[in-house]
Amino acid sequence: MKSPDGRYIFGVVKVGEKGQIVIPKEARDVCNIKPGDSLVAFGDENQNIALVKAERLTDFAQAILQAEGVK
């Protein structure tokens, strides 16, 4: 389900016995997640978790370094 501001609810996922989850197809399509992509998992003590494509963090870090004049 998509909200007007571009945020989604992709549904419920279950954690398997090995701690694995399956990212819903709609989420993979919207977020352009392909087999072999690396994701970084963030979490907090309130039991929230977020997954971010590793390349997005790399791009963000490079932008910060460029803004600081570091090459």
Could you list the beta-strand ranges (E) of the chain: 39-43, 49-53
pLDDT band at 63 (very low <50, low <70, confident <90, very high): confident
By 3-state DSSP, what share of the chain in percent is helix, strand and coil, each rounded to 5? 30, 15, 55
pLDDT tens-digit map of 9-41: 999 999 999 999 999 999 999 999 999 999 999
Does pLDDT of 70 surpass 70? Answer: no
Q: Give pLDDT, residue 37.
A: 96
Distance CA 25, CA 9 (A): 12
